[in-house]
């Protein structure tokens, strides 16, 4: 497993294949997203000295099989994209 800095340098060309066990019945997919801060000061520095530049965020959208609880699809977008517009892309990745 490469370290964090190696993954960051290679992220544009990194192709992630998600392995999963197929469901016995039809796919019931749960979709949710979470935000990841990738640029900006830490919390302590911001509280002590104030923010010097704007923080930047990305959203990680996950599609999870409701029966097996395995991740079936992953998409990373900007902060402005919600879960509803990503539903078709997540289903296409299954």
pLDDT digits (tens, 9 = 90+) for 33-57: 888 876 666 666 767 777 666 667 7
Average of per-residue pLDDT values in the chain: 77
3 found inside a domain: no
14 found inside a domain: no
Domain residues for 44?
Answer: 20-92
39 found inside a domain: yes
12 found inside a domain: no
pLDDT at 52: 66
33 found inside a domain: yes
- Look at strands 71-78 and 56-65 and give their pairing: antiparallel
40 found inside a domain: yes
Per-residue pLDDT averaged across 17-37, rounded? 77
Counted residue by residue, the chain has a size of: 94
1 found inside a domain: no
d(CA 16, CA 7): 11
86 found inside a domain: yes
Domain count, the chain: 1
Q: Residue 84: CB partners within 8 Å, gap ≥ 6?
A: none
């Amino acid at each position: 497993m490469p370290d964090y800095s190696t993954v960051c340098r290679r992220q544009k060309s990194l192709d992630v294949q998600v392995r999963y066990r197929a469901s016995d019945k039809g796919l019931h997919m749960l979709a949710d997203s979470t935000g990841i801060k990738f640029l900006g000061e830490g919390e302590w520095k911001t509280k002590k000295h104030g923010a010097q530049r704007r923080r930047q965020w990305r959203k990680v959208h996950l599609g999870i099989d409701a029966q097996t609880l395995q991740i079936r699809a992953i998409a990373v977008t900007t902060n402005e994209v919600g879960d509803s517009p990503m539903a078709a892309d997540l289903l296409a990745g299954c």
